[in-house]
Structure 1
């Protein structure tokens, strides 16, 4: 039997046992008082009679409480605008320790009266929210996009800290609209002398992507029609145009090869030895391979409202449709299984030009959406 099979599970089991048996003393010695408390509590829940764990819990809780309160006092003396968030974290840590002790009856013997700072926590939430609200209000007065964006996050944080704080939700909405970058997206133009092609599929996919992107950003995209009826001032124009494209370029390749197959048994000798009789089969296999290539080049541009190009890129896309079939002259015994499959096929018809157009725009769509996400991530 291979003993290595049990090594990894055994090591994991031993480690688990050592961790579960820890009283938290090492964490206490390293000054990680919160960890020492939680480790001791877990140990006492599994074995209430562990004296070392009780001793560690008592010392660890006392040290942890003093440290958190000392940090509260230190933070209050700073000039940090958002210091109440740090104070809140300390009070919440103290309350979490008290709750953990309270959920363990035997732990109450080591820490009979764990302290909670409920009122102080509530006050800290209020003051922390107020600091965020005040800072956001100051930023919003600057009438700058970046400042408005930061103001939005301040109002959002205020709401998280203290739900329904003043009119933080309304201020958050104001900040969002001030920070918003408004972009007019011109439709893709498709001009072809040979085919009447529709870009509707490609256009719909782009608009769907942009709508999803808007929900997670400070960018909003508008159609030209929406822009005409809107009262807003726009910041940029995004245009998409095919510089060149070709649909259905067809190429057929013909290959003729002599094939043969040896050692084909055709019977046995007529003598008493009955030795097998073999022959060789030969023939000419003609293979046809048809490729229909469609490709295009999309010109992607973003301009500012004055027509100055901010970024520009050419995005290529290609789709190749393939088909193959064959013919044969000669002894069919020379054919292998793949040859027979090929001969059973007939020349197929390629997709319609509209479908070929859609297929070569798919890799362009992937490039385009990546570029849009990359470019507008800075906003």
Structure 2
């Protein structure tokens, strides 16, 4: 028991040393916030323990250096009088306040009986003023970006206004302007299907491919439309060109397999070396399992049919009247069904054989059904393209 206690103490000591070195490395590399975070974590339990005093000193050092660096940065940014720095000033004041709030629950902290002083300051007024400055500047910036018709600038306006909404909710008409920016910045895409295969495409496949509600898309800046609206000004067109459909013949493949097993088949008397019935110690006849070899022929049948749909997805910029991107899709569907019969002793069959002999032949799917089932795979690949391609 004593050895276990000593071992646990040694393990705790090694872990503690490793944690302290991580704080020291963060401090010496100038990553003061990381050093503070790790030191605070170590001091959340038993902060008054003697082994924790090094963490208090490291926390004090990192805390003071981080504050000095932030205050110096704010002074420099204010001196420049550049409104582009308003956001950095605001966020740096918040960093100062958050740092204080992280340390405050631990106070007071002492080393060798003496309290270690952590400077505390109320930054509320500075934060409020900085928030007002950045809100006003970003508000005007957002309005200016909305004056043009370029969708990417309009989206930038939305992001600018969204920052205001995040730090200063419902500032002036921010929400109305965000709604306007979203509506004007959204790209509208008209979608159609062109059948180039000279084969009949099931109507339900076209409906499924154009039913974008089932795609589970989550694209904030793009809307796809299957039904054309004459009052809508579309930015892009996406055409799904069905280029070729290949359907294999219906195939039936057969193979014969011989199964053999050693099985118990009743009992028999055990014979001695002379061919007589063997006796046990009480003079009784000895019985034993009768093991025989059984065989069966298994006739496995596979029904097979395959469909392949080759397609292209073409994106066109309707304003520039030019193709901007093209993707190739190869989708398919395989119909396979297995069943079997056998001749011989059922006991020779394995589990797979027993499952197969329960099956029966089934009708092959029609070509129309094969094309539709291939379309399900096509739809998944089309969804991947739409999800990854940003307009």
For the superposition of Structure 1 and Structure 2, which TM-score range results when normalised by the shorter chain? Answer: 0.7 to 0.9
The verdict on how the C-alpha distance between 1:61 and 1:188 changes in structure 2, with shifts beyond 3 A counting, is same
Q: Does 1:213 align with 2:218?
A: yes
Aligned twin of 1:17: 16
CA contact (8 A) 2:303 2:338 kept: yes
Query: Cα offset for 1:115?
Result: 1.2
Which of 311, 322, 325 is the aligned partner of 1:298? 311
User: Is the contact between residue 289 and residue 323 of structure 1 (CA under 8 Å) also seen in structure 2?
Assistant: yes
In structure 1, the residue matched to 2:76 is: 74
Alignment gaps of 5+ in structure 1: 1-6
Q: 1:145 aligns with which of 135, 148, 151?
A: 151
Q: Aligned pair in 2 of structure 1 residues 172, 97: CA closer, same or farther (>3 Å)? A: same
TM-score (norm 2): 0.74
> Helix, strand or coil: the match of 1:96?
helix
Residue in structure 2 matched with residue 371 of structure 1 by the alignment: 385
The equivalences for 1:276-315 within 5 A come to 284-305=297-318, 308-315=322-329
Secondary structure of the residue that 1:46 maps to in structure 2?
Answer: coil
**Of residues 150, 153, 163 in structure 2, which corresponds to 1:157?**
163
> Quick check: 2:338–2:356 contact (8 Å CA) kept in 1?
yes
Find the counterpart in structure 2 of residue 3 from structure 1.
none
Shift of 1:184: 0.7
Structure 2 portions without partners, runs of 5+: 1-6, 279-287
> For 1:55 and 1:284, how far apart are their aligned partners in 2?
83
Whether the aligned pair in 1 keeps the contact of 2:312 and 2:329 (CA below 8 Å) is yes
1:78/1:294 Cα in 2 relative to 1: closer, same or farther (>3 Å)? same
SS state of the match for residue 385, structure 2?
helix
1:179 aligns with one of 179, 185, 188: 185
Distance in 1, matches of 2:23 and 2:201, equals 77
Pair 138,346 (structure 1): closer, same or farther in 2 beyond 3 Å: same
Q: Is the 8 A contact 1:41 1:53 kept in 2?
A: no
Deviations 1:248-276 (A, max 9, x none): 84211122455666798787688415799
TM-score normalised by L of structure 1: 0.76
Q: How many residues align?
A: 364
1:65 alignment partner in structure 2: 67
Q: What's the RMSD between the two structures over aligned residues?
A: 4.2
In structure 1, distance between residues paired with 2:42 and 2:367: 69
The answer to whether the 8 A contact 2:194-2:240 is kept is: yes
Mapped to 2, the partners of 1:61 and 1:194 lie a distance apart of 73
Residues 131 and 334 of structure 1: CA distance in aligned 2, closer, same or farther (over 3 Å): same
**Is the alpha carbon distance of 1:179 and 1:11 closer, same or farther for their aligned partners in structure 2, counting shifts above 3 Å?**
farther
- In the aligned structure 2, how far is the partner of 1:23 from the partner of 1:221? 51
| Native 8 Å contact 1:183 1:222 kept in 2 | yes
Is this contact kept in 2: 1:41–1:101, CA < 8 A?
Answer: no
Q: CA distance change for structure 1 residues 197 and 281 in 2, over 3 Å: closer, same or farther? A: farther
Shift of 1:245: 3.1
Per-residue CA deviations over 1:81-112 (Å, capped at 9, x if unaligned) read: 43112112221222223334543442495337
Q: Does 1:46 align with 2:51?
A: no
The answer to whether the Cα contact below 8 Å between 2:83 and 2:137 also exists between their aligned partners in 1 is yes
